[in-house]
Amino acid sequence: MTPTKTFGTFFLPGPTEVREEIMMAMVQPMIPHRGSEFEKLFERLQEGFRPIFKTDRPVYISSSSATGMMEAAIRCAPPGRILCLVNGAFSERFAHIASMCARDVDRYEVAWGQVHAIPQLDERLSMRKYTAITVVHSETSTGALNDVRAISDCAHRHGIVCLIDSVSGLGGAELRFDEWKLDYVLTGSQKALALPPGLSFAVASTSFIDQANGTQGRGVYFDLVELDAYARRNQTPSTPALTLLYAAEAQAKSIESEGLETRWARHKAMATRTQEWITKISDETGKKLGNIAPLGSQSPTVSTIRLPSDVPADAFTTAVAKRGIVVGTGYGKLKSSTFRIGHMGDHTMESLERCLAACSSVLRS
User: How confident is the model over 86-100, as pLDDT tens digits?
Assistant: 999 999 999 999 999
Picking from 331, 298, 343, 295, the residue whose alpha carbon sits closest to that of residue 88 is: 331
- pLDDT higher than threshold 90 for residue 6: no
- Domain residue ranges of the chain, discontinuous segments joined by +: 10-14+260-364, 20-258
- What is the CATH superfamily name and number for domain 10-14+260-364? Aspartate Aminotransferase, domain 1 (3.90.1150.10)
Mean pLDDT of the region 101-117: 98
pLDDT at residue 162 greater than cutoff 60: yes
Residue 8 has a pLDDT of 78
Q: What is the mean pLDDT of the chain?
A: 96
- CA 80 to chain CA mean position, Å: 26
DSSP assignments along 196-237, one per residue: -SS-EEEEE-HHHHHHHTT-S---STT-HHHHHHHHTTT--S
> Is the C-alpha dihedral spanning 16, 18, 22, 23 positive or negative?
positive
Looking at the predicted structure, is the pLDDT value of residue 3 above 90? no
Q: Is 107 a residue whose pLDDT tops 90? A: yes
Residues 6+ apart with CB under 8 A from 329: 313, 314, 317, 335, 338, 339, 340
pLDDT of residue 307: 97
Q: What is the pLDDT of residues 258-300, one digit of tens each?
A: 999 999 999 999 999 999 999 999 999 999 999 999 999 999 9
Which one is the CATH code of 20-258: 3.30.70.20, 3.30.70.260, 3.40.50.970, 3.40.640.10? 3.40.640.10
Judged against a pLDDT cut of 70, whether residue 127 lies above it is answered with yes
Alpha carbon separation from 113 to 110, 124, 143, 295 (Å, rounded): 8, 20, 7, 11
- Cβ count near 310 (within 10 Å): 6
pLDDT of residue 4: 47
- Tell me the per-residue pLDDT of 311-322, one tens digit each, with 9 for 90 and over: 999 999 999 999
DSSP 105: E
- Each residue of 129-147: pLDDT tens digit? 999 999 999 999 999 999 9
Report the number of secondary-structure helices (H) and strands (E) in the chain: 12, 14
Residue among 240, 255, 256, 253 nearest 37 (CA) = 240
Q: Above 60 in pLDDT, residue 358? A: yes
Segment holding 83, helix H or strand E: strand 82-86
Q: What is the pLDDT of residue 135?
A: 98
Instruction: Answer whether residue 246 shows pLDDT above 70.
Output: yes
Task: Say if CB 270 and CB 343 are below 8 A apart.
Answer: yes
Confidence band of 1 (pLDDT split at 50, 70, 90): very low
- Mean of pLDDT values over 109-127: 97
d(CA 125, CA 285): 46
Return the percentage of the chain with pLDDT > 90, whole number.
98
